[in-house]
Chain A
Amino acid sequence: MANNPPVPPGGPKGKQTLREGVWGNNPIAIQVLGICSALAVTNKLANSLVMGGALIFVTAGSNLLVSLLRRHIPRRIRMIVEVGIIATFVILFDLFLKAFYFEMSKQLGPYVGLIITNCIVMGRAEAFALQNPPLLAIVDGAANGLGYAIVLAIIGLVRELLGTGKVFGLTVLSGQWYQPNQLMVLAPGAFIALGFLIAAFNLLKGPQAEPGKEAKP
């Protein structure tokens, strides 16, 4: 590790890391991690976007710090250290929302705080930031956050539109000919939307290669 030359985030490795996080190894659609919040806060598009933003901030921030400290973190307590760092970033974001976006903070309720336990954040710290230089770690964190945010935005859009006929609280599907389907606002709607989304991802990506095997068309 010590011999690794520094990799600029825009370089080939940076681009690949970005693509992996957003698309190739999307945390929700491919790894199916962190779906608790993806199901819970996505009945409105605005909520989904803020939650996605929170995850980008937290994952990028915690990845950076874990990567900077990666040669000093004692192995035995590394997970506790990671959680400590993640929790600090999450609480900062929560305070920021409470102070400046009070309405949004109320709507998201406990889910901002629960980012601390989101497997994506911890997963990236463990799997990537501990072995990679800081700049690349930021790219990886932001990319995974972005991958999460995009999926949430799609689910949020679909659920709000079908469930209430609105987008960002503005009526799009008129009540005269569209009967909002309340199921989409409820929890089952989230599962259904996520299921379709994962299926679509798999369809677009083509056959998945098993680890160590080549994908055959």
Chain B
Amino acid sequence: MKGSLQTLIFAIALGVTSAVLLTGAARITAPYVEKNRQEEKIRNLLAVFEINVPAGADHEQLLSIYRANVVEPKETDDPKFYRYVPGGSGESRAVAVHFIGKGLWGPVKGFLALDPGLTTFVGVTFYEQEETPGLGGEIATKDFTDRFKGKKVRDLAGRTGIRILRSGASGPNEIDGLSGATLTCDKVQEMLNQALGQIVKEARHGE
């Protein structure tokens, strides 16, 4: 009986100590983690608009560049367009939407930017992805995302959608995929086309 009580007390003491310690650590790190998340989103949005960020820019610099160039969507907007309006010019150079799609292993988040006329890709970024490192994970690299620049959202017959091919992309809406990451590329094509479908449909609806 005495042994059981001791065991119980030990277990409770250990559990409480550990819980207090971890809660404390989580509270201390929470603002940093939140800042990292926000910064990642901002960096991706700036990247997709091709807005230059000086190397080694700190959080404040990043925020000021962001506020000077990007107009966030209002709650009621549909689709929710982030607009690239270079410092006070009043004219939007590009629009972007945030998307979340299903990757091969887990959700993939990203931004998709088009020209204001919604015909041409300005850029694409992927983040918070869990694709296979070194293979599907390469979708997050500039080498891959750069392939989207200048591509059209429609094929020659006028159908909306981008196509990611294994190789030999030639059409206005075709790009080369990543070798060894065909499945991830298929998923990427799917999520981008879903996002595109949404924008194009919504935009027509609004016209």
Contacts and interface: CB of A to CB of B under 8 A. Distances in A.
Interface of A: 43-44, 47, 72-74, 76-77, 80-81, 84-85, 87-88, 91-92, 95-96, 98-100, 102, 106-107, 109, 163-164, 182, 185-186
Contact of A88 (B10, B22, B135, B180): B22
B10 A109 contact: no
Contact of B36 (A74, A99, A164): A99
Contacts of B183: none
Contacts, number: 67
B29 A76 contact: no
B32 A100 contact: yes
A74 B3 contact: yes
Contacts of B133: 43-44, 47, 107, 185
A182 B136 CA distance: 12
B179 interface: yes
Contacts of A85: 14, 18
B22 A99 contact: no
B11 A77 contact: yes
Contacts of B14: 81, 84-85
Nearest to B36: A102
A163 B33 contact: no
Contacts of A81: 10-11, 14
Contacts of A185: 133-135, 180
Interface string B1-45: 001001100110011001001100110010011001000100000
Contacts of A164: 134
A163 B134 contact: yes
Contacts of B180: 182, 185-186
A95 B3 CA distance: 36
B18 A84 contact: yes
Given A88-B22, A95-B25, A182-B179, A43 B3 contact: no
B130 interface: yes
Contact of A91 (B3, B10, B22, B134): B22
Nearest to A106: B128
B40 A73 contact: no
Q: Which 5 A-B pairs have the closest CB atoms?
A: A99-B32, A99-B29, A185-B134, A102-B36, A74-B7
Contacts of B40: 102
Contacts of A96: 29
A186 B136 CA distance: 11
B29 A109 contact: no
13 contacts: A43-B134, A73-B10, A80-B11, A81-B10, A92-B22, A95-B26, A98-B32, A102-B33, A109-B130, A163-B134, A182-B179, A185-B135, A186-B134
